[in-house]
Amino acid sequence: LKETATTGSGTAVNGSTRPLNLDFSKGKYSLIDLTHSGRIETYDAKNTTTTYSLMTNKTKYFTSQTQRAGVDAHYNADLVYDYYKNKFNRNSYDNLGAPIYSIVHYGVNYNNAFWSGEVMVYGDGDGSTFTTLSGANDVVAHELTHAVTDYTAGLIYENQSGALSESFSDVFGYFVDPGDFLIGEDIYTPGITGDGLRSLSNPEQYNQPAHMNQYRYLSNTEAGDYGGVHSNSGIPNKAFYNTVTQLGNSKSEQIYYRALTLYLTPQATFTDARAALVQSATDLYGAADAQIVASAWDQVGVY
Ligand X SMILES: O=C(O)[C@H](CCc1ccccc1)CC1(C(=O)N[C@@H](Cc2c[nH]c3ccccc23)C(=O)O)CCCC1
Footprint on this chain of ligand X (rule: CB under 6 A): 111-114, 139, 142-143, 146, 166, 184, 197, 225, 230
Kindly name the residue from 41, 143, 166, 253 that is annotated as catalytic: 143
Least CB distance from residue 24 to ligand X, whole Å? 33
* Candidates 139-147, 179-187, 212-220, 231-239; binding stretch for Ca ion (CB under 5 A): 179-187
Least CB distance from residue 88 to ligand X, whole Å? 21
Q: Is 143 marked active-site?
A: yes
Question: Of 124 and 166, which has the nearer Cβ to ligand X?
Answer: 166
Least CB distance from residue 53 to ligand X, whole Å? 22
Site for Zn ion in 139-168 (CB under 5 A): 166
Q: What's phi and psi for 217, nearest 5 deg?
A: -90, 85
User: From the list Zn ion, Ca ion, ligand X, none, which binds 251 (C-beta under 5 to 8 Å, kind-based)?
Assistant: none
Least CB distance from residue 114 to Zn ion, whole Å? 8
Least CB distance from residue 60 to Ca ion, whole Å? 30
Cα–Cα nearest to 165, from 184, 183, 149, 189 = 149
Alpha-carbon span 7 to 74, nearest angstrom: 12
Alpha-carbon span 14 to 7, nearest angstrom: 21
Site for Ca ion in 109-138 (CB under 5 A): 138
Question: Of 111 and 201, which has the nearer Cβ to ligand X?
Answer: 111
- Strands 113-115 vs 61-62: parallel, antiparallel or unpaired: unpaired
The answer to whether 300 and 242 have CB atoms below 8 angstroms apart is yes
User: From the list Zn ion, ligand X, Ca ion, none, which binds 113 (C-beta under 5 to 8 Å, kind-based)?
Assistant: ligand X
Question: Of 78 and 138, which has the nearer Cβ to Ca ion?
Answer: 138
232 interacts with Zn ion by CB under 5 A: no
Burial 146-164 (b: 16+ CB within 10 A, else e): bbbbbebbebbbbbbbbbb
Among 30, 131, 169, 199, binds Zn ion (CB under 5 A): 169
- Looking at the DSSP bridge assignments, the partners of residue 101 are 41
User: From the list Ca ion, ligand X, Zn ion, none, which binds 182 (C-beta under 5 to 8 Å, kind-based)?
Assistant: Ca ion
Q: Is 3 marked active-site?
A: no
Cα–Cα nearest to 139, from 114, 116, 160 = 114
Q: What's phi and psi for 103, nearest 5 deg?
A: -125, 130
Cα–Cα nearest to 77, from 50, 55, 108, 58 = 55
- Looking at the DSSP bridge assignments, the partners of residue 199 are 182
Question: Of 10 and 184, which has the nearer Cβ to ligand X?
Answer: 184
Cα–Cα nearest to 168, from 231, 291, 259 = 259
User: From the list Ca ion, Zn ion, ligand X, none, which binds 230 (C-beta under 5 to 8 Å, kind-based)?
Assistant: ligand X
Least CB distance from residue 204 to Ca ion, whole Å? 18
Around Cβ 257, how many Cβ atoms within 10 Å? 22
Report the phi/psi class of residue 86: left, alpha or beta, with left for phi > 0 and alpha for psi in -120 to 50.
alpha
Question: Of 92 and 169, which has the nearer Cβ to Zn ion?
Answer: 169
Counting beta carbons within 10 angstroms of the beta carbon of residue 223, is it exposed (0 to 12), middle (13 to 18) or buried (19 or more)?
exposed
Contacts with Zn ion by CB under 5 A lie at 166, 169
Residues that bind Ca ion (CB under 5 A): 138, 177, 180, 182
Which residues are annotated as catalytic?
143, 230
